[in-house]
Amino acid sequence: MFKWVRLLRVKQYSKNFFVFGALIFTKGYVHSEPTLKSLIAFVSMCLICSSVYIANDLIDVERDRKHPRKKLRPIASGEITPATAKANALVCLVLGLALQISLPNSAYIIGLLYLGIQGLYNRYLKQLPVVDVFVIASGFLLRVIVGALASESKISGWILLCTGCLALLLGFGKRKAELQNQGAGDQRESLRGYSIQLLNSFVTFAAAASVLSYGVYAIESPTARQYPLLIATVPIVAYAICRYLYLIFSSEEAEEPESAVLGDAHLLACFVLYISTVGIAQTGVTLNFLGQ
C-alpha cells in the first residue's frame, strides 16, 4: 500500500490545511454546515492535487530517474506502470471535481482555476525562474479562497497577504535547497536562472515580509480587533519562521517543505501552540492593557 500512498503524495496533503484558514479565523467551526463544507473542500482539493502530482510525475519521469531520491518514486522506479498511474490520476480528478460540485459554484470555479494553473505550471511555467515560485504561491492562495467560498466565510486581504508571503518563503526555500543539492539545471530548467546568493535574498525577503504582514494582521485586521489576544500568536509565528530559516540554511530538508514541517518537533509544537492560542483568543479572553 505504501507505493500508492507515495503515488498520491499523501504527505503533501498538509498543504491543503490552508483550506481551513477562513473557517478558523472567522470562528465558523462552531457551526456544523460550514465545517462540513470545509471538510468537503479539503478532501476535494486533496484528490485534485493527487491527480496533478501524478501528472507531474508522468511528465518528469525521465528526469526523476536521474535524481538520487526522486528515482524511488513509484512511476520512475517502475513499481507502478504509467497506464495505471494515468487511471489513478483520472479517478482522483473525477472524484475531486464531483465533490466540488456539491459546493457553491464560486468554489467550484476556483477549483477549476487551480487545476488550470497547475496544468500550465507542469507544462510551461515551472521552467521560468521566479514565475515558478509565484505560481506555487498562487496555489496556496487559491486553497484559502476555495475554503472561504465553500464555508461562505468572509476573509480580508490580510490573510491572503500573509498566506502569499509564507508561500513565497516555502517556494524560494525549496529552490535554494534544490540548487544546493543538485546543481544548476540538473533537474529543473528554472534552476539555471537562480544563484544561491539570489535565492538567499529572496528567502530573507519572504521571511521578513511574512513576519511583518502577520504582525500587522494580528494588530490591525478586523479579526484582530474582535479578538485582541490574537497578538499573542505573533511570537509563535516569528519563531516558526526563524526555525524554518534555520532548517533551510543548515540542512537539506527544505527541498521538501512538508517533510521539514512534519518532521521537525519545533515546528509541530509551534503549530499546536498556535492553534491553541487562536482558540483561546476567540473565547474573548484579553489582556487589560490591550483593552476590549
Check residue 216 and give its pLDDT: 93
Residue 289's pLDDT is 46
Mean pLDDT of 40-60: 93
Dihedral (Cα; 189, 192, 194, 196), 10-degree rounding: 120
Exposure on the CB side of residue 4, measured as CA atoms within 13 A = 5
Does residue 3 register a pLDDT over 70? yes
Q: How confident is the model at residue 287 (pLDDT cuts 50, 70, 90)?
A: low
pLDDT of 239-255, one tens digit each?
Answer: 999 999 998 888 655 56
pTM listed for this prediction: 0.88
Whether pLDDT at 260 is above 80? no
Distance, in Å, from the CA atom of 50 to the CA atom of 213, rounded to the nearest integer, reads: 31
User: If you average pLDDT over every residue of the chain, what do you get?
Assistant: 88
115-119 own/partner pairs: CB under 8 Å, 24+ apart? 115/48, 115/52, 117/142, 118/52, 119/52, 119/55
Determine what percent of the chain is predicted with pLDDT higher than 70.
92
Taking only the tens place, the pLDDT of each residue in 166-203 is: 999 999 998 988 888 765 445 677 888 899 999 999 99
Q: What is the DSSP string of the chain?
A: -HHHHHHHTGGGGGGGGGGGHHHHHTTGGGSHHHHHHHHHHHHHHHHHHHHHHHHHHHHTHHHHTTSTTGGGSHHHHTSS-HHHHHHHHHHHHHHHHHHHHTS-HHHHHHHHHHHHHHHHHHHTGGGSTTHHHHHHHHHHHHHHHHHHHHHT----HHHHHHHHHHHHHHHHHHHHHHHHHH-TTSS-GGGGG--HHHHHHHHHHHHHHHHHHHHHHHHHSHHHHH-GGGGGGHHHHHHHHHHHHHHHHHSSGGGSHHHHHHT-HHHHHHHHHHHHHHHHHTTT---GGG--
Q: What is the pLDDT of residue 93?
A: 94
Radius of gyration of the chain (CA): 19
The grid coordinates of residue 53 equal 502530482
Average pLDDT over residues 15-33: 90
